[in-house]
Structure 1
Amino acid sequence: MALDINDYLQKIGKKYTKESTLAAALVWRLAEGRSGVDVDLNQVVSVLVDSGFKSSVNKSRLKKTLANELGINKGSKKDTFRCSLKHIDDLDARFSVDEEHSIPKISFSFLDEGTFPESRAYLVRMGEQINGTYEYEFYDGCAVLMRRLMESLLIEVFEHTGQGQLIKDAAGEYKMLKGIISAIGGSSIKFARGIDKTIANVKKVGDNAAHGRTHITKKNDINDLKIEYRKLISELKSKSNIS
């Protein structure tokens, strides 16, 4: 994060043009990629205007649209925003402009390269990492990422169907995956036959990979899930209207 804030804005502005998304990127940048750090909306507006990137900003409108950006929460004080801890890795993937690092070449033998639109950068990056960890035989990492992608898409489904409140705790933060899965039964969301079993299996394999002290995920553990996992991702994309 050595770039000057104005230089950063110029670079991220080549990737995103939507005002609220640029503001979300500035919240992430001004918070130095950390959750729990409040960023004043006035500071965000000042950067947008003083840099010449925007001639003017409707603060009231931006306040509303910024609150709807995935991974950005309202701060502890009036007119402040902060990065969600749950989405901090996704924000890093979306808003980093570090040109010193590049993603290694991968063959996309697990999930198709065009599975997610470029507008959903955090989903694209997760898809790339799932393919990469599978190809390079890092199966524990692959299992954890499969679980994480499923969790992210389940959240997208709840939010798209207007039932996001069912998967949030009293503080407004998203529940853990177990709570999200439990909320499906109390929602109006209906999945195709067999999807509930696949969700349970992906969680089990991912949990074992993440928390099994002596467990090592094998290639067959992943291969046994591949076909049903692709069906699951397709179903979740459809239910969340991601195309």
Structure 2
Amino acid sequence: MPDLKLRALAARLVSEEAKELEIGVSLLWYLTHSDADFFISAKEISDHMQDLGIRSGVNSSRLKSNLAKHPDVVRGRAAGTFRIKTGRSVPYETKYGDLRSPERIPVPDNFLPSSISLGGRKHLDSLRREINGTYEFGLYNSCAVMCRRLMECLLIEAFDFSGNKAAITGGDGNIVGLNDILAKAKSGSHVKLSRNAPRVVDRVKESGDAAAHSRHYITSQRDIEDLNPGFRQLISELASLANLQK
């Protein structure tokens, strides 16, 4: 699977409706600009176009000929290989350098959609992004832990909004652990969970705990996917209880 930053570059090139040679040179910049000794062939560039879903059926011989004529490209010693010229990276850095920042890399929201409002709270939206990113790229242990964390954060927000934060605050002034928060939530005395919510919170907690603490268990894609649709419904419910559904 192509790395996140390369996929982000591909998405940008598609959105710009870039021409074939422009795509080829931009990919060449991304793949070679950080290593002055690295060269890549036109065939490898065309394969990247195919793998990234930018272009299919690229004529690598034609691309090779066009790259050889491009003013920003230099040939390598090995026949048919190229790299971006030293000193010619600036325009590409200016145009696409922002994609190196992890915060700018687009992450699909296939697991926990952005249509579920979290009130615009930056830390909650950041957790949602991590959940979707770790799910998208197969980091399922991390995904399970982040699901548990977002649930816990929203439970605390719900207690706080209802005026019952003291119920989950220990004698030392700190918020109690998730087990105690869940016990208070399930009692119905402080926040009103729907009938199915207690079952879902237990599953999310169990999944997150196993991912974080089990010595031998490895969370699978099926484990994460089995959390839905309950997890989405739970997050929507907790966001509503916390008055974040705006």
Match in the other structure for 1:123: 124
Report 1:41-56 matches (<5 A). none
- State the 1:114 CA deviation: 4.0
Q: TM-score, normalised by structure 1?
A: 0.57
> Which portions of structure 1, spanning 4 or more consecutive aligned residues, are displaced by more than 6 angstroms?
none
For residues 131 and 183 of structure 1, the distance between their equivalents in structure 2, rounded to whole angstroms, comes to 29
- State the 1:101 CA deviation: 3.3
Amino acid at match of 2:193: F
Report 1:133-144 matches (<5 A). 133-144=134-145
Match in the other structure for 1:238: 240
Q: Percent of pairs identical after alignment?
A: 38
Report 1:14-93 matches (<5 A). none
Query: Which runs of 5 or more structure 1 residues have no equivalent in the other structure?
Result: 1-98
Report 1:105-124 matches (<5 A). 105-117=106-118, 119-124=120-125
Match in the other structure for 2:101: 101
Match in the other structure for 1:146: 147
- State the 1:186 CA deviation: 6.2
Match in the other structure for 1:155: 156
SS in 2 for 1:183: helix
Amino acid at match of 1:162: G
Match in the other structure for 1:190: 192
- State the 1:118 CA deviation: 6.5
SS in 2 for 1:225: coil
Matched, 1:168 2:150: no
CA contact (8 A) 2:118 2:239 kept: no
Amino acid at match of 1:163: N
The 1:234/1:119 distance shift into structure 2, 3 A limit, reads closer
CA contact (8 A) 2:184 2:190 kept: no
- State the 1:116 CA deviation: 3.3
SS in 2 for 1:226: coil
Query: Which runs of 5 or more structure 2 residues have no equivalent in the other structure?
Result: 1-98
- State the 1:191 CA deviation: 1.2
For residues 174 and 202 of structure 1, the distance between their equivalents in structure 2, rounded to whole angstroms, comes to 19
CA contact (8 A) 1:139 1:222 kept: yes
For residues 156 and 236 of structure 1, the distance between their equivalents in structure 2, rounded to whole angstroms, comes to 8
SS in 1 for 2:237: helix
More deviation, 187-196/228-237: 187-196
The 1:127/1:140 distance shift into structure 2, 3 A limit, reads same
